[in-house]
Structure 1
Amino acid sequence: MKNKIVFASLLAAAFVSTVTAQDTKAFLGRWDLTSTPATGKPYPQWLELTENGGKVEGRVQPRGGAWHPIAGAHVESGKLIVDLGEGTGPATVWELTTPVAGKLTGIEKRGDAADGLTIAGAKAPSLDRPMPKAWTKPRPIFDGKDLNGWEPIGNVENNKWIARNGELVNDNPETPGKRGPGAANIKTTEKFQDFKLHIEVNCPEGGNSGIYLRGRYELQVGTEGGKLPTHEMGAIYSHYPPPAGSELGLGKWTTFDVTFVGRHVTVLRDGKVYHDNVEIPGPTGGALDSNEAEPGPFFLQGDHHGVIQYRNITISVPKK
């Protein structure tokens, strides 16, 4: 009898484990999210969930800053409860419904109460594309004379971007390392899918800016104080640091050559390989949207310390 009881207990445990695995399977993978607060505008986020030994693990990209690991996740009443592991007060969790046709929805709770934020998600596209066989001749997307083809975004009332001496300059005179008082960013009016970008930048000591590819993935310009390599000059923000021992080289002109096809990016800085065909898993903090399958603009950060200078910005795209 005892053996039968033990066997029945093991069978029940195995059944529960199987059910849990089946319940969580639909949630696994990468998700492009749009979060809509009770008041204010929607903003992009990103979530990746994996399974390890029957345990759901993952990471989340908040509205700004770096991604961080989730504290945990479990299925409850047919919904996935994701503990974001944020803050010091009541736990902040996402309550996500079982995905249907690659879409999911959910709400955010703080403690037991919903805080009014709703979540809409879509399975992130793979974006696996072969390297184009040929590219168009590079053409300028900044003429050095005016802001034609560019427009301020964010706090446009405090736009500090100007064209001066052939340079695109963020004239935001802020203390090095300190965030400015809501100055504007700037983006191209034209959108791009796959491309080769050439861009030169002069970032002052303590300066902080960023080049957003398709408006979603940040190539770090300047410094965040050296605490994390993935937040320093030439990093794919929060994902890939520059090569070990790389100098910031602030206060002088430096060149980035970027080849971006699908999710894979190669970055050369002054001819040195910083990133060799690495995969960017998802949007970084500060992205304009999470619509990864769509083309997007280039956008340059201007809401941090100035004076940042860009010049000789050219683009090549795959030949049709």
Structure 2
Amino acid sequence: MKTIKTGVIGCGLIAQMEWLPYLHELEEYEVVAVQDISRRAAEHCAKQYQAPYVFDDWRELIRHPEIEAVVILNQCHTEVCIEAVRNKKHVIVEKPLCENVNQAKRIEEAVCEENIVFMIGEMKRYDPGFLYAADIIAQMKSIRMLRFRDYCDGLVRSQNEILETVRRTDVDADLKNKLNQEFWEGMDAATGDIPTEYYYHLLTGGAHDIAMLRAIMGDPERVSYCDIWNGGNELEAAMVYGDKTRAFLEVGYTNHKWFDEEFVVYGEDQTVHVQFPNPYLKNAPTMITVKRMEGNMVVEEKIETSYQEAFRNELLHFYNCICNNLEPVTNVREARMDLELMAGILKAYQKE
């Protein structure tokens, strides 16, 4: 079996909670290098996962000759992605791909020039429950309405109880501010006259929901409505799919400790309800509830398809794409189109 020598850029919370444990567990990968702006976090991860090389600069990691694939988990992805592609590294990058459509087009152009695998870490697209539900939905008669919701606290309150991660307490405040400013400037380019904070939760919290909606239904004809309130903490959008179908997206940031992400698809004689667990709870199953008519009876089924972990599954998909020269399901083109739909949602808000 081929082992992919891998470098990880960004050793923050999501790296420590999800990516590094699965990269270490899977025999398909060998973590040979890590990088972070925090030497403390990088050295902790290198020691825990036996990575021989630790870098302060992501450019040095990308140029290292042993590294075949790069996992990009830092804050601002655009330049890192482009540099990795130009150095002919396979890339998997945490969602969202970047902050705006123009950045996505630059990355896509670079990817098209090289013979490498480039994948976005939209882990819910690899969730066994989502895949099972998507097959049912594909067979549904006359879909009337879809409702997607992500309404939680960004996992802030549950995270430390699940795993206490090493924080970037050794990073200079000016450097942190510079990187934050770069990220917000990337969002500024997408928002126009809308306050940038109105986009933040759509980009970070709604990205999975946009990707799943498009996987099920494709692109809408148009976004008919968007409202954003409470300083950007809540967003609702409506999308048109022909004369008989509408899709709704609800994104909110709350003080709830419980995780609340789900979608419901309403058909002519059947409803499919998909409820996702807290992604930090390893191997927790996604719950599917199917309610349908059989003659004059109402039948309800509750289904737990698998305890397989979505983060692990997407890494196996990435490996398969590298070994067999395949295009990933969550590829750069799809990520750019997700961002275009988000731009359409913001445009609908501007019209209100």
TM bracket, shorter-chain basis: under 0.3
Calculate the TM-score normalised by the size of structure 2.
0.22
Q: Which has the higher strand share?
A: 1
Q: Which has the higher helix share?
A: 2
